[in-house]
Amino acid sequence: MFAKLKAQPKDKIMALMQQYREDPRDGKIDLGVGVYKNAQGVTPVMRAVKAAEKVLWDLESTKSYTGLAGDPAFGRALSNLVLGDCVDADRLSMAAQPGGTGAIHQAVELIKMASPDATIWLSAPTWPNHPSIIKHLGMKMAEYRYFDNESRAVDFDGMMEDLKAIKAGDAVLLHGCCHNPTGANLTLPQWKEVAALIVDKGATPLIDIAYQGFGDGLEEDAAGVRLIAQTVPEAMIAASCSKNFGIYRERTGLLTCISDNAEQAGITQQNLTHLNRQNFSFPPDHGARLVTMILEDEGLKAEWMTELEDVRKGMLSLREALAGELRARTGSDRFGFIADHRGMFSRLGATPEQVEALRVDHGIYMVGDSRMNIAGLNEETVPLLAEAIVKVGV
């Protein structure tokens, strides 16, 4: 049987991580992996998470299963963080998932069940796992323009022009905030135009929100998602807790669906529960329980929000510092987009040859499309990166 299997292409980011580990140079810089790191290069356990774990250690009395869709308290807590009170609760259906990736996978499966001939529209570029999952599940996909490689900003005119081709029953995948891999994000007026177009075409938005709190703040980063949720009759929202709670290995995510009415929401819930049962039966609970504890306890939530804000401001400071170093070296503001972008990532706009030169000549590792993880920097490495960028001719 196994002799008929075909070799799979290597994951480019995983391969880059391996190259970095094997590089013997002391001054090497890892800007490739999509994980938050502090100035010491560590992905820390957040203080509120550690405190919640200590409480859970004493209070947890069983390791039995939760419900097929996860603990309802987790769904309520996380959906409230994302949506606030902008949608009536009886229109919501929720299922805990193994991370944001699991939520995206399940959303595509739900689309396949509800609208098997749908085309799923993706931003160009997008997170590589988006098209990989869609292809794996045998669904059609198409791209809409999103990023202008010259200005390193959103190509909104191109985006809207391309989205005019969507049809009723299609799905449009949108990044809720902190676009991965570009760092360029829609403004609230632009979100409003996108929402109106989706409603006019009869399509359904699928929003991937993996970095809430990393951009302009918890509420600000959710503003576009909430505007969509208030405007459209149906939507899917895949939320991840990996980044803003720092619980990457706990695989904690949630798929929330908004239906047109309460009766339909009940049917949607049945289908989400069914998909969980087919895929893994019961979702993981440890991370979900920690998130619930933090969001339901005023003290823990305040501690978490304080640390998350420190993380956000730290990344903004690194962005501003890098843009400033490049301004000083080039005598121009052509790298000002780095300070304008939000979240962990920015697409630098370097050619593959320049990215390779950064790695070979300077020990600086970033993804081949020149996506760089701002959180991989610190005060000492910012000027080193700026100097290298200029030297390779970006």
Mean pLDDT, residues 160-166: 98
What is the pTM (predicted TM-score) of this model? Answer: 0.96
pLDDT at 112: 98
Enzyme catalytic residues: 127, 208, 210, 243
Dig out the tokens for 249 from the structure: 């290995």
pLDDT at 292: 98
**Model confidence pLDDT, tens digit, residues 253-298:** 999 999 999 999 999 999 999 999 999 999 999 999 999 999 999 9
**Model confidence pLDDT, tens digit, residues 175-217:** 999 999 999 999 999 999 999 999 999 999 999 999 999 999 9
DSSP track, 310-347 = HHHHHHHHHHHHHHHHHHHHHSS-TTTHHHH--SSEEE
Dig out the tokens for 257 from the structure: 């669906």
pLDDT at 44: 96
One-letter identity of residue 372: M
pLDDT at 311: 97
**Model confidence pLDDT, tens digit, residues 9-46:** 888 888 898 999 999 999 999 999 889 999 999 999 99
